[in-house]
Structure 1
Amino acid sequence: MGEGPARPRVRRDARAAAVSSHQPRKRFGQHFLTDDVVLEAIVDAIDPRPGQALVEIGPGLGAMTVPLLQRCERLTVVELDRDLAARLRRNPQLQVIESDVLKVDFRALAQQAGQRLRVVGNLPYNISTPILFHLLLAVDDVVDQHFMLQKEVVDRMAAAPGSKDYGRLSVMLQWRYAIENVLDVPPEAFDPPPRVDSAVVRMQPLPAPEGVDAQVLSELVTVAFSQRRKMLRNTLGRWMEERGVQAAFDLQRRAEEVPVAEYLALARLASPR
Structure 2
Amino acid sequence: MPKVKSQKFGYAHDRAKNASSSTASALTTRAMAPLFKKELGQHILKNPLIAQNIVEKAGLKCTDVVLEVGPGTGNLTTRILERAKKVVAVELDPRLAAELAKRVQGKPEQRRLDIMVGDVIKTDLPFFDVCISNTPYQISSPLIFKLLEHRPLFRCAVLMFQREFALRLIAKPGDNLYCRLSVNIQLYAKVDHIMKIGKNNFKPPPQVDSSVVRIEPRNPPPPIDFKEWDGLMRIVFVRKNKTLAANFKTTSVLDIIENNYKTFCSANEMMVESNFDIKEKVMNVLKSVGFAESRAAKMDVDDFLKLLYRTLTMSSAANILLKQFKELTSNPVPGFTVALPNDGNVFEWDVGIIGAPSTIYEGGYFKATLKFPNDYPYNPPTFKFNNEFYHPNVYPDGRLCISILHPPGDDPTSGETAAERWNPTQSVESILISIVSLMGDPNCSSPANVDAGVMYRKDRDSYNAIVRSQVEASKKDIPEGLKIPTSTDDFVVHKRQIEDEHDENFWYASDGEDVDEDMEDYDVTSEEEDDEEDD
Normalised by the size of structure 2, how large is the TM-score? 0.44
1:98 equivalent to 2:117? Answer yes
- Once the two structures are TM-superposed, the CA of residue 22 in structure 1 deviates from its matched residue by 5.5
- Once the two structures are TM-superposed, the CA of residue 139 in structure 1 deviates from its matched residue by 6.3
User: Which has the larger share of strand?
Assistant: 1
Query: Any idea what the Cα deviations from partners look like across 1:102-121, whole Å, max 9, x if unmatched?
Result: 11223xx12xxxxx521110
> How far apart are the structure 1 equivalents of 2:226 and 2:152?
13
Query: Any idea what the Cα deviations from partners look like across 1:238-268, whole Å, max 9, x if unmatched?
Result: 6586466734141213221111111122222
1:42 equivalent to 2:54? Answer yes
1:11 counterpart residue number: none
> How far apart are the structure 2 equivalents of 1:146 and 1:210?
22
> How far apart are the structure 2 equivalents of 1:151 and 1:79?
22
Query: Any idea what the Cα deviations from partners look like across 1:144-190, whole Å, max 9, x if unmatched?
Result: 11101111111110111011111101000000111000111111111
1:252 counterpart residue number: 293
Give the alignment partner of residue 36 of structure 2, picking from 3, 24, 36: 24
- Once the two structures are TM-superposed, the CA of residue 20 in structure 1 deviates from its matched residue by 4.6
Distance 1:269 1:33, change over 3 A: same
Higher relative contact order (CA 8 A, sep 6+): 1
1:154 equivalent to 2:166? Answer yes
Distance 1:181 1:210, change over 3 A: closer
- 2:123 counterpart letter in structure 1: V
> How far apart are the structure 2 equivalents of 1:33 and 1:209?
33
> How far apart are the structure 2 equivalents of 1:181 and 1:233?
34
1:80 equivalent to 2:99? Answer no
2:184 counterpart residue number: 172
Whether the 8 Å contact between 1:88 and 1:94 is mirrored in structure 2 is no
1:205 equivalent to 2:217? Answer yes
- Once the two structures are TM-superposed, the CA of residue 87 in structure 1 deviates from its matched residue by 2.6
> How far apart are the structure 1 equivalents of 2:100 and 2:166?
29
> How far apart are the structure 1 equivalents of 2:230 and 2:159?
23
- 1:149 counterpart letter in structure 2: F
1:223 counterpart residue number: 235
Q: Per the alignment, in what secondary structure is the counterpart of residue 175 of structure 1?
A: helix
> How far apart are the structure 1 equivalents of 2:220 and 2:182?
16
Deviates more, 1:34-43 or 1:139-148: 139-148
Whether the 8 Å contact between 1:125 and 1:150 is mirrored in structure 2 is yes
Rg comparison, structure with higher value: 2
2:517 counterpart residue number: none
- 1:230 counterpart letter in structure 2: K
Over the aligned positions, Cα root-mean-square deviation in angstroms equals 2.4
> How far apart are the structure 1 equivalents of 2:148 and 2:310?
22
> How far apart are the structure 1 equivalents of 2:248 and 2:215?
29
> How far apart are the structure 1 equivalents of 2:222 and 2:241?
31
Q: Per the alignment, in what secondary structure is the counterpart of residue 212 of structure 2?
A: strand
Normalised by the size of structure 1, how large is the TM-score? 0.83
> How far apart are the structure 1 equivalents of 2:158 and 2:294?
34
> How far apart are the structure 2 equivalents of 1:41 and 1:130?
25
Q: Per the alignment, in what secondary structure is the counterpart of residue 67 of structure 2?
A: strand
Q: Per the alignment, in what secondary structure is the counterpart of residue 147 of structure 1?
A: strand
Using the aligned pairs only, state the percent identity: 30
Gap runs ≥5 in structure 2: 1-27, 105-109, 262-280, 317-535
Q: Which 4+ stretches in 1 moved above 6 angstroms?
A: none
Q: Per the alignment, in what secondary structure is the counterpart of residue 131 of structure 2?
A: strand
Distance 1:210 1:229, change over 3 A: closer
> How far apart are the structure 2 equivalents of 1:210 and 1:64?
33
Gap runs ≥5 in structure 1: 1-15, 111-115
2:205 counterpart residue number: 193
How many residue pairs end up in the alignment? 249
